[in-house]
Amino acid sequence: MYVFPEYYQDRKDLLWIHFDAKELISQKGYARGSNSITTGKDLGQWKFLAPLEISEEVAHEWGDYEGMGARIAEKVGGIVKGIKEGAGIIGAGKGAFNTIKNKKGFDPIAIAKTAAVTAAGHDIEKQKVDTAFTYQGTRRRTFSFNFQVAYMPGDKDVYESIHRPLQELKKYSCPQVDGDIIGIKFPAIFKLYSYPSQMLRVNHAALKGVQITWKAPYIGGYACHGDVLLTFTDIEPLYRKSFESGGIIKTSESTSKRGGIGGV
């Protein structure tokens, strides 16, 4: 297990955020149910002192209903609009002809002006189809963690304390190839949870982003501290039954009855 910071790793009075990586063996085409994801061996564990802020987003998609009746109404409206605009264009042609007829010589600028005025003279069709505003789906929850890591007295060397653990975390967020021309192994999936409280618990999450900003001073060619932004997305779909009476989120594997920002 990699611990940030190692100096406080035995402090049980502090809130810690754990990320446990597992091998993702397979996924079903459907997302519901406890058998939709098959995991394998453990790949690594990371333990961070809880940051000042943990961001969780629950978002839903709503939009205009696109039923057959609404599409037919829109088509009819489009036809009516086309007929009236066509009449305007015919009128513009007649106006241009009369301009040529009543004037000696050919004045393209005057003809163009007459055609434009005549074509624009028809009334704009006042039609609008108001359809129902309906629920279309729920996005997967996303979690963002902004940690600060630093080399502290009593730690191992700078590379082993903060750089190597983060290199491993980045590595497992990527897929793996084993010489196959097109085949890959999936990136790892992560279990997210807090300790000692169960404020956070997500059984299957994808690590979608690792952003590290290293900062001076440098020891042995390695930065001594930095900011780490980790972005995870819950793989499992979210439904009302996922919430317990206390507003906590759980998954099929969870038996938690406590409160928090995301106990799944």
Q: Are residues 255 and 169 in the same domain?
A: yes
> What pLDDT sits at residue 195?
92
Residue 207: what residue type? L
Q: Are 5 and 162 in contact (CB under 8 A)?
A: no
pLDDT: which is higher, 43 or 127:
43
Q: Are residues 102 and 148 in the same domain?
A: no
Q: Are residues 88 and 198 in the same domain?
A: no
Helix or strand (DSSP H, E) at 158: helix 158-158
User: Residue 31 phi/psi, 5° resolution?
Assistant: -105, -10
Specify whether 52 is located in the same domain as 176: yes
Could you list the residue range(s) of the whole structural domain that residue 54 is in?
Answer: 2-59+141-263
**Between β-strands 16-27 and 189-195, what pairing exists: parallel, antiparallel or unpaired?**
antiparallel
What pLDDT shows up at residue 76?
Answer: 62
Domain shared by 151 and 212, yes or no:
yes
User: Is there a single domain that holds both residue 168 and residue 234?
Assistant: yes
**What residues pair up with 171 in beta bridges, in sequence order?**
none
pLDDT digits (tens, 9 = 90+) for 100-143: 556 555 556 665 666 566 555 556 666 667 788 899 998 898 99
Q: Is the peptide bond before 217 cis (omega within 30 degrees of 0)?
A: yes
Tens of pLDDT, residues 156-165: 789 999 999 9
d(Cα 110, Cα 102) in Å, to the nearest integer?
Answer: 12
Residues 155 and 243 in one domain: yes
Is the pLDDT assigned to residue 252 strictly greater than 50?
Answer: no
Mean of the pLDDT values across residues 52-56?
A: 88
The residue with greater pLDDT, 97 or 128, is: 128
Q: Which of 134, 163, 178 is the last residue of a domain?
A: 134
Q: Which residue reads 């297990």 in tokens? A: 1
Phi and psi angles of residue 7, each rounded to the nearest 5 degrees, phi first: -60, -35
Q: What is the CA radius of gyration of the chain?
A: 31
Residue 256 has pLDDT above 60, yes or no: no
Range ranked top by mean pLDDT from 35-39, 145-149, 180-184: 145-149
Identify the DSSP state of 185: B
Residues contacting residue 6 through CB under 8 Å, at least 6 positions apart: 152, 154, 155, 156, 161
Domain tally, the chain: 2
- Give the model's confidence band at 263: pLDDT under 50 very low, under 70 low, under 90 confident, else very high: very low
Which residues lie below 8 Å from residue 127, measured CB to CB, with a gap of 6+? 77, 80, 81
Q: Is residue 53 very low, low, confident or very high in pLDDT (cuts 50, 70, 90)? A: confident
DSSP 93: H
> Are 128 and 181 within one domain?
no
Q: What phi and psi values does residue 40 have, to the nearest 5 degrees?
A: -120, -130
33: confidence class by pLDDT, cuts 50, 70, 90: low
For residue 20, pLDDT over 60 is answered with yes
**Do 193 and 229 sit in the same domain of this protein?**
yes
Dig out the tokens for 206 from the structure: 């994808």
pLDDT at residue 94 greater than cutoff 80: no
User: For position 247, what pLDDT does the model report?
Assistant: 38
Residue 254 confidence (pLDDT): 41
Secondary structure (H, E, C), 21-33: EEEEEEECCCCCC
Look over the chain and give the mean of its residue pLDDT values, rounded to a whole number: 79
pLDDT at 225 over 80: yes
pLDDT tens digit string along 62-93?
Answer: 998 877 666 666 666 666 566 665 555 555 55
Q: How far is residue 6 from each of residues 21, 49, 132, 161, 242, measured CA to CA in Å?
A: 20, 10, 56, 8, 35
